[in-house]
A and B are shown apart, each in its own frame.
Chain A
Amino acid sequence: MANLKSRFNLRDFGANLWEGWNRQTRVTFTLVLIGLVALLPFAASWGPTSFLNTPITSFENVLVYPVGMFVLMALGLNIVVGKSGLLDLGYVAFFAIGAYTQAIMSTTLGWNTWEVLPFGIAFAMVAGVMLGLPALRLRGDYLAIITLGFGEIIRIVALNLKITKGPDGIPGIPNPPAILGLDFSLENPSHYFWLVLGMILLVIWMIRRFTIRRPGRAWEAIRQDEDVASLMGVNTLIYKLWSFVIGGAVGGAAGVLYASKTMVISPDMFKFEVSILILGCVVFGGIGNIWGVVVGASILAYLPERIRFISDARQLVFGAVLILMMNLRPDGLLPRKKREKLTKRGSL
């Protein structure tokens, strides 16, 4: 009864390659890869790669938003949707909470981005708990609707409260103060990119550590058969809540950074569409698979910026992507690894 499909699976190919290397090779490869990615902001001005340049917004800025931000948020949503199998249609709420925390705290209390960041993350996590405790007891479809509602409620609240300054939003959000000699003024989008890249790497590291240990196993068990998981001793509610909270934390962090860069935010930046865009990134790349999500999000975020035609009909394309992916290639571009390692084995 062994699966004899010999279709080429890029993910497994890469994974097998990786497993064949020793520690030194792996470290070198990883560092080189990170180095290359870090050089991306310069790609638009370097001859051979200048075709990457985007017409409306500069390539360096595009790398920060939407590419970097979408990758970061897609990773966060992937923890919820991909690892635990919970459909969250209101992920934008966490993003909004982070952004508004930064906006409000920096303009009224005068705090800088680094000081606000832990608070943005904390508030998003609290929101995750508040949403999760009632919602996670419900079955999948109902959870989806409730999360959708939550996302909308956050937006409507932002639209109507005095402190969030309603539909006009909050202007005048300061850029983050410089660290490590990198200043975050608007002339240096590449610095923002490296910051986002750092966060992405941190999140990936975090996810990897969870995956090969008890949390990852618990999430995977829940995703595959929740009832049996709980009968095998997994406290499903707590683990589902954790995935919500961690996913929310990532979204909140992204929101804080986003507000610091764009310097003005308003409720219409946090519509339901954004949740769908991020979901599209996760689905397109391969639900549950980190590399799939990174690649998928990068492509889906980048292409509309490069190709005007797609940009105008961005949502249309996303809708079509969701339909097509589910019907034709439900595993995404880079399917979840067939034999995901859930425990540490070998040298790394």
Chain B
Amino acid sequence: MSEKVLELKQVTIKFGGVTALDSVDFHVNRGEICALIGPNGAGKTTVFNVITGVYPATSGEILFKEKSILGLKKHQVTKTGLARTFQNVRLFGEMTALDNVIVATDVHKRTGLVRALFGTPLNRREERSGSERAHELLKLVGIDHRSDQLAKNLPYGDQRRLEIARALGTEPEVLLLDEPAAGFNPAEKAELADLIKKIRDTGYTILLIEHDMSLIMGISDRVVVLDFGQKIADDLPTIVQNDPRVIEAYLGVPADAS
């Protein structure tokens, strides 16, 4: 019943003398919310980067719906169905919130320069539908009232939400969220948790990097733990929470040291 929609097989990345990822091997099932956690520098964002084609893998394989996406260019990866947000918000600051999302919806359009120049019926249809979809997504994350404001002028929380809306604009099947709750207060985190669940329930699969344990425990179906570029745990949240190796990785001391 569970389809492995995203799979990393023995992925290793070496930069010069540094091994950022060491034979990392895990998968995400369709419809899951899978959390990727680990201490700072463990390699979590590196995983996102190698999936989305920002870094080349030194060895290993990455499969999306059973097909290899290794070596694809960034925009090709997105077109295939994976989209992400960023640890530090990276919006198109000088564009409106709406335009940020519309840019994302452009990826599946067929209008190119020629059709744009002549304003063909197809172009006009796609423009309309793109704009409508963008509004929908902004409503979904709760910031449609700010659609005409410049992204850089939005309050921090709304910027994070906008990033999610933008990523959704590319019509992904898998959404990669990189610390979406960073800088949120508990109330905002709870809202975000609900939003993520709502998104998943709409049919998306989510891979999520986070530091906030309660957030993760509350919504994740599975948790993958990285430390120094290696996977040290991959299981249900409650099991991982009590795994001594995980505790040691975070605290630096063995769980039973006194």
Contacts and interface: CB of A to CB of B under 8 A. Distances in A.
* Complex contact flag A–B (Cβ < 8 Å): yes
Interface of A: 1-3, 206, 209-210, 213-215, 217-218, 220-221, 224-225, 227-236, 242, 246, 338-340, 342-344
Nearest to B166: A232
B153 A1 contact: yes
9 contacts: A214-B116, A214-B126, A220-B94, A221-B92, A229-B92, A231-B52, A231-B75, A233-B104, A242-B113
Given A3-B153, A232-B170, A214 B106 contact: yes
Contacts of A231: 52, 54, 74-75, 78, 83-84
A209 B84 contact: no
Nearest to B169: A232
Interface residues of B, number: 47
Given A338-B150, A343-B99, A233 B90 contact: no
B221 interface: no
A13 B117 CA distance: 28
B111 interface: yes
Given A225-B90, A342-B96, A342-B102, 19 more contacts: A1-B153, A1-B155, A2-B153, A210-B117, A213-B119, A214-B106, A215-B116, A220-B92, A220-B103, A228-B86, A228-B92, A230-B73, A232-B170, A233-B79, A234-B107, A342-B103, A343-B102, A343-B127, A343-B130
A255 B52 CA distance: 43
If over half of A's interface residues share one DSSP class (helix, strand or loop), that class is named, otherwise mixed; here it is helix
Contacts of B123: 213-214
- Considering residues A227, A340, A342, which has the most beta carbons from chain B within 10 angstroms of its beta carbon? A342
A232 B83 contact: yes
B125 interface: no
A232 B104 contact: yes
Nearest to B90: A228
A220 B83 contact: no
A234 B79 CA distance: 9
- Considering residues A224, A228, A232, which has the most beta carbons from chain B within 10 angstroms of its beta carbon? A232
A82 to B, nearest CB: 13
B116 A213 contact: yes
A161 B240 CA distance: 73
Contacts of A214: 106, 109, 111-112, 116, 123, 126
Nearest to B116: A213
B107 A339 contact: no
Contacts of B111: 213-214
